[in-house]
Structure 1
Amino acid sequence: MKVTLSFEKSESSDVSIMVDALRASSTITLALNNFEKVIPCFTPEEAFKLKEKLGGIVAGERDGKKINGFDLGNSPADIKDYTSDHLILTTSNGTRILENMKSTVLIGSIINACEVANKSIEIANNHIDVVMAGVKGEFAIEDFLAAGEILYWILQELPDCNLSEYAKAAVLASRNYESLKESFFNSRSGKRLIELGYESDVELCSLKNISNNVAIYENQELTLLKD
């Protein structure tokens, strides 16, 4: 099995794991406790049109801020207070990355790292690519660390897979949990979210393996990957 680490664009036509650690990956993962599906869209205008057509809850942010007229922002801490058949979600980075992926896409984060690693191994044929969303085209340390945590769990099942030094560095960086959490809070995105009053989101997004939910992106929808 080939296992790689990429930025923004997937190298795999088999299975990709999209990682947007602060916050889309965690919001999507936890939303599937209360929603049957998450419908990602790429502009606020598209989200409003979908809400008019389908109803449901509309959530999203730009530059970390809740979009005017939306039910809530991109907050994994707040999502537990909402329930509906579907959640319409647009975010600055994570949902944008989904648009161009040509593989089977799973959603990964710190909070479901072990489970998404195991599910990716179960469904992959020959290539798993962990894809960091970044922030507006730039590297984000929290995505690197979350990717490292996912890669660590893949290695527990596939110890002989040949990782690049880039991927190995992510695994090593993720092993010191106190340093990882500190990096989440001190990252560019973490500081921005704290300024906006979302410190609880940063804390939640840095918790390891608190969910067994794994979202799969099919037919432009995110649903729970079944056993």
Structure 2
Amino acid sequence: LIDLEFLHSMTKGTVVGFQVAYLINLSKLSFEKLKIYSKHAEKKRIWREMVNDELGTKQGEIKSVIADAGFFAYVNYLDTARLRVIPVIKSRSDCKEKLMKKLENCPSNLIWFGKKYRTQLEELLDEFREILQKTMKWVENYDDFKDLRGQIEHIFKAAKMIFGMDNMHVYYRKHCFWKAFIILYMSSLLLQFLNLNGINKNRAIPLLAQNRRFS
């Protein structure tokens, strides 16, 4: 059966397709995870499965994740912080004050009080406070991540302009997964190559896209 979905958009009319969630390691511009979701899937669920389940941990390395305002939800900040991941999500201006209060009063992970983590409890709690402080700081200074967010935009720009991700015409979810996987993987490799060789991405991507159109 064809398992794509049709939805009505006020601006685009009838649209069809899926949501493609993509996790990128920005330190290496490397591909980490891709998952296809229904167009009806809640952003909270996508965040939980792509971020908390994939990167969250009770101890070990502290990580950070950048996302746009589409993933704004109080639970995405609080649950993620308790899993030792700093959520760098663009806050909604009318919710920022309430978010700060929730972060200031965010309870720690109760699992840390168990017997398994007893010897590490003080260290884990100190690090948790550090995670909350950084989260609040980065909520206020989200624009400081403009350059990093630009790297993400370049990957998707390459995927659409060079590899045709904006015009895939795929009607089966499993086919969509592999086509999106290959396109985004190739886009990541391209960006790594451009960075490694100091090539201007803003010029290179449109030029490569132009060659694609005339090939």
TM-score when normalising by structure 2:
0.29
- Structure label with greater radius of gyration: 2
Determine which structure has the larger helix proportion and give its number: 2
Determine which structure has the larger strand proportion and give its number: 1
TM-score when normalising by structure 1:
0.28
